Every structure is written in structure tokens, then in C-alpha cells.
């Protein structure tokens, strides 16, 4: 008698993670900050990063620095990369808690326009570090990101810049948990998760604008089989579980204080249009996007300064790339291919090589040719579906749950499950003249 050997899912996940190479990742720590060094060493150990890839610099731990201070830090990083012969082998830079976040240049706060031109995120400036193009290396202001819109996996050799992410959080424990909860090939079940568009703007005109924009993004994600909802300012008390992604417009409101349960592999984007000192003061607790990390999110982007909405990341595009099968993008690639500008104000927090693998019940993956052969629409729905296949004769339809239990059977191509108390992910078997076809349907 043959014995079955059961391999725990966690062991399988760890095995997959070990297959991803981190030799092209350099970790930048602040040698003047014990927490920074400790976190950097922990990340190096967890991801098996070579010792020489740890760049230890000496700098202030202030969140905000001036341009002269930044120039000195940049030179330290560049010199270390050169002396360790890493410039031609590293694609990703990871800054660690204790490294400054913001660069206040001359006249940074004098006018809104000067803030857009003069205030930068530290990490955004590092992307063009040691660039061969002098315009990229020492830009007067913001410049176009050469990786923006690319459908290719990243290499610095081709695009001439680095992808930069950050390991940060309000506390050291937040960062350690972030490292432990991230990494390559995190399993994510699409049918059990939700993407939230959060409109926190109290101004009605702004709310209407964001609602129209987010409605289009919601429709696009739903067409790909994701469940998505728009959360307005009137729904602050809502509790959401299994959050796989979010895009939040917070306008003086911390929506992340809502009781959201973030899934492993979840990512988000948070934009704050407040111009008060609570956003620009030199305190970790003044950066609301960091609070999501304490609630378990795997990656997040945000802006430590006031930002144009049109130049902010379109999170639905990041999410589509991050959850796409082929080509597959890691966290850094998904975010940076949606960032329009360098020397700008955005930062990305997370392990750059974090990635997800969409898993399906019973290992059943939807047919990629589904729409061209047999159409089942709308899907998902509240129980009312239509089946259409011009190249097939449809003889009968059976609906079962994912365990194989038969729930419904009929001979009509119109399915109406309303009132039958049938919900969730179901398997639809369509008997045709060319044999049975199996599709997944979702009843909300």
C-alpha cells in the first residue's frame, strides 16, 4: 500500500522563496542608527544577500534633510557601490529605517509650485544614482522615468536607473514583521479577496471626481475577476476582511485606522492632500501611510509631500501587473513601471522581490481561451447568468461546489440561482456536442 506524504503549504512557500536570487539587491543602512543596522542585517540573513551588498553609510536619522546633506549621502552610496564593484550587478536598492525619507530643497514650501519642483523623496532621487546620462544623474527638477509603462522585467543595464524600495515602519517590529510577511511567490486566492478604493475627501467636488475615476478602475478590475468596492467618506465604519489591495485618497483622514484585514501579498497606495504640518513635520507618527504596515500589508506606496493626483501612481495598474501570470512582475517592477517621474515625491515600501502566485480551488485555473469559446456573463453576478457559445451546441448545465457536490442542473442556457441560497465560487459544467467544458462562476 502506497503512503501519501503531505507537504505543509508553509514549507512549500518557503521552498519557492528560496529559489529567488537576491544577489542583485543592495541594502543601504545608516551606521549611526542601531535599528537601521539591525534591520538591514536581518533582511540580509532572511534573503541570503551577499555580505558585500550591504552599504553602510554615516548620516542623520532625521526624516527630512536639505539638498546639501543629501548630496553627501548620495556620494557615500555611490562610492561604496563603485568600490565594491556592484554598479554593474545590482538592479535594486533597498533603503532601511533610519535613512532619511524627504529632501527639502531651497524654497520648498514657499509656494505650491515650488514644492512640486523642489521637494523630493529621498528614494526617488536614488533611482538615478550613478546614471550614465548626466540629465538623469543631476536633474534640475523632475524627469521622466525610462521604465514607466514597460512590459518587460527590469534590468539596470537596459533602463539606466535603479529600482528603489524601502524597509520602514513606525517601529522596528513593524519592519521585522514586514520582512517576515513578504518575499517571493506568496499564494493569493482571487475569489477570497477584495480591492478597496477609499475616497476620504470631504470636499464634495473632489469626492465626485475621485468616484468617477475609481469607478472606471473598479470596472477594469472586476472584468479581470477581482472583487472591488468603493468606500466613501460616509462609510468610515465599514470593516473589511481579506483585503488584497487598496487605493486611498485621505484628505485629512486616516482611513487605514479602519479595521481592515490585509492578506499576505497585499499592496496599496495612499495619497494625502493635506498641507498642514502634520504631514511635513519630522516624526514617523506624522506619516499615515506607515500605519498600514502595522496592520499586515506587504507593500505600499505614498508621498511625503503634497502631490498632483495626475502624477500619482494608478494603483489598479500596479495591482494588475503584480497579480499577472505572464509576464510576472515583482513588487518593485509593478510599482516602478507605473511611476511616471524620477526626482519626484513617491516612495515604495516593501521587499522589492516580493511576488504573488494566484492559486485556484482544486488547482483549477480558468481557461485562457474562455471568452473566445464559451461566454458566461455577467460573472460574477448575484445568481443570474447567461451561457453563449456560437461554436457549440449546449445540451445541459450542471453547477457544483468546489468539492464536487452537485447543486443545480438544467437544460437551459439561462441560469437563475436567485433565491436558492447558493453563494460563492462554483464550478459550471457545460455539456456540449464537443464534450464537457468547465468554467468558474462566482455568485455574490
SS3 of 341-382: EECCCCEEECCCCCCEEEECHHHCCCCCCHHHHCEEECCCEC
Mean pLDDT within 240-249: 87
CA 354/CA 371 separation, integer angstroms: 31
Do 387 and 320 fall into the same domain? no
> Are 42 and 149 found together in one domain?
yes
Its domain, for residue 74, covers 20-185+308-352
Query: Could you tell me which of 72, 97, 73, 121 has the C-alpha nearest to residue 280?
Result: 121
Is there a single domain that holds both residue 51 and residue 96? yes
DSSP labels for 303-352?
Answer: -SS---GGGS--HHHHHHHHT-SSS---HHHHHHTT--EESSS-EEES-T
Residue 233 lies in a domain: no
Is 26 in the same domain as 64? yes
pTM of the model: 0.76
For residue 239, with 0-12 CB atoms within 10 Å meaning exposed, 13-18 middle and 19 or more buried, which class applies?
exposed
* pLDDT of 397: 86
Contact 226, 188 (CB under 8 A): no
How does pLDDT run across 115-155, given as a tens digit for each residue? 555 678 899 999 988 765 555 555 556 788 999 999 999 99
Same domain, 341 and 378: no
Q: For residue 252, what pLDDT is reported?
A: 47
In a shared domain, residues 29 and 116? yes
Choosing from 294, 328, 352, the residue where a domain stops is 352
Q: Quote the pLDDT of residue 139.
A: 55
* Residue 139 DSSP symbol: -
Beta bridge partners of 188: 358
Residues 6+ apart with CB under 8 A from 334: 267, 318, 319, 321, 322
Residues 73 and 178 in one domain: yes
CATH number of residue 386's parent domain: 2.60.40
Q: How far is CA 217 from the centre of its chain?
A: 15
Candidate from 16-20, 59-63, 440-444 with smallest mean pLDDT: 16-20
Same domain, 75 and 177: yes
322 in a structural domain? yes
Torsion over CA of 170, 167, 189 and 13, rounded to 10 degrees?
-120
44 and 147 housed in the same domain:
yes
Q: Are 41 and 51 in contact (CB under 8 A)?
A: no
The last residue of one of the domains, among 317, 352, 387, is: 352
Model confidence over 281-292: pLDDT tens digits? 445 555 556 777
CA distance 251 to 198: 11
Tell me the percentage of the chain whose pLDDT exceeds 70. 76
For residue 190, is it within any domain? no
Number of independent structural domains in the chain: 2
More confident residue, 204 or 383: 383
Amino acid at each position: 500500500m502506497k503512503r501519501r506524504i503531505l507537504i505543509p503549504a508553509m514549507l512549500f512557500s518557503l521552498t519557492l522563496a528560496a529559489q529567488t536570487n537576491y544577489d542583485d539587491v543592495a541594502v543601504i543602512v545608516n551606521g549611526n542608527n542601531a535599528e537601521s543596522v539591525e534591520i538591514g542585517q536581518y533582511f540580509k540573513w532572511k534573503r541570503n544577500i551577499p555580505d558585500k551588498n550591504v552599504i553602510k553609510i554615516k548620516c542623520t536619522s532625521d526624516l527630512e534633510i536639505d539638498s546639501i546633506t543629501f548630496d553627501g549621502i548620495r556620494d557615500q552610496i555611490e562610492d561604496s557601490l563603485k568600490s565594491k564593484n556592484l554598479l554593474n550587478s545590482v538592479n535594486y536598492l533597498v533603503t532601511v529605517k533610519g535613512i532619511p525619507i524627504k529632501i527639502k530643497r531651497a524654497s520648498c514650501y514657499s509656494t505650491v509650485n515650488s514644492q512640486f519642483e523642489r521637494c523630493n523623496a529621498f528614494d526617488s532621487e536614488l533611482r538615478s544614482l550613478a546614471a550614465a546620462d548626466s540629465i538623469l544623474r543631476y536633474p534640475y527638477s523632475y524627469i521622466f522615468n525610462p521604465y514607466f509603462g514597460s512590459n518587460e522585467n527590469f534590468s539596470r543595464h537596459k533602463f539606466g536607473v535603479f529600482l528603489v524600495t524601502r524597509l520602514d515602519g513606525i517601529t522596528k517590529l513593524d519592519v521585522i514583521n514586514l520582512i517576515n510577511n513578504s518575499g517571493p511567490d506568496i499564494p493569493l486566492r482571487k475569489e477570497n479577496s477584495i480591492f478597496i478604493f477609499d475616497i476620504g475627501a470631504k470636499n464634495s467636488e473632489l469626492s465626485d471626481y475621485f468616484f468617477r475615476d475609481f469607478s472606471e478602475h473598479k470596472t477594469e478590475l472586476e472584468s479581470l475577476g477581482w472583487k472591488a468596492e468603493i468606500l466613501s467618506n460616509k462609510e468610515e465604519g465599514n470593516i473589511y476582511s481579506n483585503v488584497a489591495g487598496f487605493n486611498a485618497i485621505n484628505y485629512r483622514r486616516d482611513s487605514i485606522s479602519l479595521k481592515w484585514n490585509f492578506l499576505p501579498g497585499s499592496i496599496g497606495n495612499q495619497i494625502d492632500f493635506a498641507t498642514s504640518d502634520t504631514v511635513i513635520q519630522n516624526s514617523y507618527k506624522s506619516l499615515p501611510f506607515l500605519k498600514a504596515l502595522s496592520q499586515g500589508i506587504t507593500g505600499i506606496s505614498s508621498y511625503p509631500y503634497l502631490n498632483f493626483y495626475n502624477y500619482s501612481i494608478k494603483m489598479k495598474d500596479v495591482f494588475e501587473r503584480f497579480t499577472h501570470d505572464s509576464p510576472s512582475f515583482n513588487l518593485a517592477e509593478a510599482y516602478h513601471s507605473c511611476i511616471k517621474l524620477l526626482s519626484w515625491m513617491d516612495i515604495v515600501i516593501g521587499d522589492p522581490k516580493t511576488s504573488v502566485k494566484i492559486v485556484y480551488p482544486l488547482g483549477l485555473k480558468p481557461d485562457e481561451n474562455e471568452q473566445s469559446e464559451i461566454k458566461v456573463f455577467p460573472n460574477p453576478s448575484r445568481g443570474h447568468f447567461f451561457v453563449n457559445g456560437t461554436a457549440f451546441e449546449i445540451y445541459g448545465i450542471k453547477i457544483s461546489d468546489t468539492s464536487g457536490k452537485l447543486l443545480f442542473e438544467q437544460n437551459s442556457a439561462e441560469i437563475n440561482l436567485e433565491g436558492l441560497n447558493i453563494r460563492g465560487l462554483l464550478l459550471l459544467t457545460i455539456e456540449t456536442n464537443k464534450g464537457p467544458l468547465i468554467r468558474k462562476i462566482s455568485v455574490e
